[in-house]
Amino acid sequence: MIKQGYRLMIVFCVLFQSTFAQQPDIKKVFSDAEKQSMLMINTINNKKTNRLTFPRSLDKDSLKLVPSGDWTSGFWPGILWLEYEQSQKPELKEYAETFTRLMEKEQWNTDSHDVGFKIYCSYGNALRLTGIENENYKAIIIQAAKTLCKRFNPVTGCIKSWNSTSKWKYPVIIDNMMNLELLFAATRFSNDSSFYKVAVSHANTTLKNHFRSDHSSYHVVDYDTITGNVIQKNTAQGYADESAWARGQAWGLYGFTMCYRETKNIVYLKQAEDIAAFILDNPDLPDDKIPYWDYNVPDKIQEPRDASAAAITASALYELSNYSTNKKKYREAAGKILESLTRNYRSAANTNGGFILNHSTGHKPAKSEIDVPIIYADYYYLEALLRSKKK
């Protein structure tokens, strides 16, 4: 009886530790993140020029700064807004406002489909946390949505991603689902339904053409602007055209979850759940739930992970849990991802240039930003932590 009782106690302790491990100390994590941000701000102040202001990654242990036109620029002010949301510290709000203002000209940038990333992560969070009455922030979001819609083609039914290249005529990438949140917001702020129609058209076209029967996604779909037909389906950042690039799957999950929130179209919820199943039930997902940069790389032991894909997935799963009957499954999966990121992928204090997470992969085929900290991993990690607090 004593031995049996001892065994039961051990089992209970293991279960307790497992459950506890899935609950990061959010207050401490954000406190650590703030210290990293202060380190980064000091470095930026020493390095920045009139053009290079926003942190993106590390290049040979040196902070890599980019201009506001870079697709990643909005994540840094977004991180400061998320830290302010947690702490309510006035100094964080001041820094967030300062870097957000430096994004203002991007509302007019017709050369980039990522105006959604840039403006909504910065000005969207600013508006959310400072009050809907802030008319200037609203006006910038509406103008940015008008700018994004200039890249929409009614024949293809979607927003063009990159400008034409020798390889693609009208390329559309799965990442573009993330820019639709800007359009839905502009609809609410302006009562102009044209933004909503563009967003829904893009989502529907993506759902139709980007996904395989197993609910994994192609990275790039190229369209004929005369007929609207698909010309080819490829990858740019994945291992192969028919492989499942990890961050692309996360973009799809997040994007269709957000589209369901904004439209209540059950088709989008079903799509998000199908993508979640592909990710969570994937035999090639490591035990710690942090994917390799592509689910189909052959020699996985030699391949880098992508903490950014994990962070995006965790944030999306927390939101999806609010709408799905699989609430418990999604929250538990997101918790396991956050526990792994918090325990094994966070930077030590005063290291990595002030980035919060390590071990992300940007563009492996181009040999760019491999196994390094990247700013968008930090943004979605903090967002996931904040979402985890909402039951």
β-bridge mates for residue 357, sequence order: 346
**Can you tell me the distance from the alpha carbon of 30 to that of 342, in angstroms, rounded to the nearest whole number?**
11
Listing DSSP states for 140-183 in one string gives: HHHHHHHHHHTTEETTTTEE--SPP-SS-SSEEEGGGGGGHHHH
Q: What number of other Cβ atoms are within 10 A of residue 66's Cβ? A: 18
Report which DSSP code applies to 291: -
Taking alpha carbons only, the member of 325, 382, 328, 338 closest to residue 356 is 382
For 12, the token pair is 């209970």
Q: Catalytic site residues? A: 114, 175
Beta carbons of 159 and 148 less than 8 angstroms apart: yes
Beta carbons of 105 and 98 less than 8 angstroms apart: no
